[in-house]
Amino acid sequence: MESNNKFDPNTDIPDLTGKVFVVTGGSAGIGYGICAHLLQHNCKTLYLLGKKEEHLSEAEEGLKKYGDISRVKPIQIELENLHQTDSVAKQLALELTQLDGLVLNAGLGVGVYNETADGIDSHMQVNVFSQHHLAMMLLPLLLKTPDSRLVLQSSEFHRMLTSNPSFESLAEMNKDIGAMPLYARTKLAQVLLVRYMHGLKANPDNKLGLKEGQAPWINATHPGGVVTDQQEQAIEAYGTKGKLGVKAVRPFMKDPIDEGCRSALFAATGTQIGSQPIDGEYIVPDCKVSDVSKEAKDGQLAERLWRLTETLLKEKLGSLEYPTVLV
């Protein structure tokens, strides 16, 4: 499927009156840009999830110029802590009666290897496992909301792995493979999860209740080169080399509020998504459905990733409040 849409969020986002959105990583960078435009177009409620309370307060203050911030519900979430993430997910599942869009935008960038308190590579936990858990907890709300959207913020980095992961074990995930490969692996994982989840719709008996040709419309997006704090993570990882690299490319990077959030906003709000529909795809600037890497098309790899994700979440949390597909 091909689409090549010039999408200006200032003019092309429809009126969002009555609609409810949840955005992770919403307190800065691309996530803040996404939140600004959602608020600007009159969403009913915007749940802005971020890591630090002070950043949430700063974002809330900054959003005053885009709309009525009484509609903004800031929530602190620590994606490096599965139990805290689970607590936030349960809170949202109880509080919400509808969910028009869930934008999983939070993420660690190109950075050094660390493990979380849960004993998992921090890149995989933050960018993939924790946000998958949030999506599964909120999936019933997406299923009951007409024309709902699930958006995963991936990247062209999904093509840049020098060696292919098998996604077979935690031991494999917990190896320091280098700053850029750690990040690239998570971007590939996000595309794989989107494609696998969309594929479940073809099975009318899938445990998640997904139905072919029906919302939620599930897509991955690439924002383009955007100025965010992720460049500072790259400098930390690569030192002088990283600093020189960032300095070289920064003049070509987009502003996160003006342009960097367009692909995600198109996936979360664009009328074409539901009317065509555009589902299970990878959307790049300017809102064009693009082909993905060979690895991202590997159905067995996607299945192993889904199984590993469910296995780890079940092991670390003890039990899950949603049906698992492979475990």
**pTM passes above 0.85:** yes
Integer Cα distance of 40 and 196 in angstroms: 33
Own/partner contacts of 52-58, CB < 8 Å, gap of 24 or more, are 52/27, 52/76, 55/27, 55/28, 56/27, 58/27
The pLDDT value given to residue 163:
81
Q: Which residues of the chain have pLDDT under 50?
A: 1-3, 228, 230-231, 233-235, 237-238, 241-253
3-state helix, strand, coil in the chain (%, to 5): 50, 15, 40
Instruction: Using DSSP, state whether 226 is helix, strand or coil.
Output: strand
Tokens of 111: 């950075």
What is residue 255's predicted lDDT score, i.e. its pLDDT?
54
268-297 residue pLDDT tens: 999 999 999 999 999 999 889 999 999 999
pLDDT of the residue at 249 = 34
Q: Which residues are identified as catalytic? A: 183, 187
